[in-house]
Amino acid sequence: MEEADSCRRAALEAVADVEPPRLHEYLDSILDRASMVPAVLTLESAAAMRTEGRVLEDADEPHRDGESEPDRNRTQAVSSDRDPARITTHAAGVQLIYEGLRLTRSLAHDEPWTATDAEASDADLGILAADILVARGFYLLARTDAADKAVRTVQSFGRDQTRREDLESGAETSAGTAVGIDGGDPASTDANLERDVLELAVRTGAVAVGETPSPRLHAVVAEFAADVGTSFPPVADCLTDLHARARELSLEDSTTDRATSATDP
């Protein structure tokens, strides 16, 4: 899938300068075998939220009479964000954050530091790689309106993993803590990461084209998140239907907007 390949290349480029070679190869291996669902969903969300009639003004077009300098600067900034290559970079940022958090989750559950020295050494490399992936993902999203959502995603992940440890140890049950939306199941708690990352993808894609994700687009993604659990399948296995449904929703929203405008006083 061309979109997945483009996002993978952008993610690999974001970590291309990492050294030493062993760490660089480790990062490449993670991204080479990653499902690019979060990144491609970012692109699909951007496409879905481009509603008919909201055509981007070319940055080189003469300014409208009376347009202030701040307005011109804002137009040019939005123009840059709507550039396809720029949106692909943002999509890669979402993917990098997910891969870093997913790797952190895996290492936390397996506890490789209690095994052999070789396994512990690999785990040390893995933790370093996870930190780099998340940091580079933040860097790619730093100047977007999705940056706050990225921060909340990481914060939520930290709370969930702490809570998961409490669930497994029985501390939460004995303390009488509320079970929350996942029903107190460690596996469901883990799956919050995939749900949150999909929400981040939708947010990132929408704001890249100057829009806010529609409630119906959120509903489609929530249904999708419930199906994937704690891992994403290959893009080709799951996003074809999501692509069609997202486009259908965008057309419905566009029709609704036009109908509403026609009846406004």
- Name residue 165's amino acid: E
In a domain, 265, yes or no: no
Task: Examine residue 206 and state whether it is found in any structural domain, yes or no.
Answer: yes
Containing H/E element for 246? helix 235-263
d(CA 73, CA 66) in angstroms, rounded, equals 14
Q: CB neighbours of 54 closer than 8 A, spacing ≥ 6?
A: 209, 210, 211
| Helix pair 147-169, 117-141: axis angle to 10 deg | 150
Please give the DSSP secondary-structure letter assigned to residue 18.
-
Are 213 and 206 in contact by the 8 Å Cβ rule? The answer is: yes
Q: Tens-digit pLDDT profile for the chain (265 aa)?
A: 789 999 999 999 999 999 999 999 999 999 999 999 999 999 989 988 875 324 333 334 444 445 445 444 444 444 445 688 999 999 999 999 999 999 999 988 876 656 566 666 777 889 999 999 999 999 999 999 999 999 999 999 999 989 888 877 766 544 444 444 455 677 788 899 999 999 999 999 999 999 988 888 888 888 888 888 888 998 888 767 666 665 665 555 555 544 444 444 4
What is the spatial distance between Cα 231 and Cα 99, in angstroms, rounded to a whole number?
A: 11
- Does 63 map to a domain? no
pLDDT of residue 122: 78
CA dihedral 72, 73, 75, 77 (to 10 degrees): 170
pLDDT at position 246 is 59
In a domain, 62, yes or no: no
Angle of the 21-32 helix axis to the 84-110 helix axis, nearest 10: 100
Residue 155 domain flag: yes
Whether 61 is in a domain gets the answer no
Residue 58: inside a domain = no
At residue 59, the pLDDT reads 36
Q: Please, are residues 87 and 46 in contact by the beta-carbon 8 Å criterion?
A: yes
Number of domains forming the structure of the chain: 1
CA distance 91 to 80: 15
The reply to whether omega before 20 is within 30° of 0 (cis) is yes
Q: Indicate the SS3 state at residue 170.
A: coil
Domain housing 92? 2-53+68-259
Cα 199 from chain centroid (whole Å): 7
**Domain harbouring 87, CATH code:** 1.10.600
| Biggest CA-to-CA distance, the chain | 74
Kindly compute the dihedral angle of the four CA atoms of residues 256, 261, 264, 265, in this order, to the nearest 10 degrees.
-170
Domain-embedded: residue 59: no
Q: Kindly report the pTM of this predicted structure.
A: 0.78
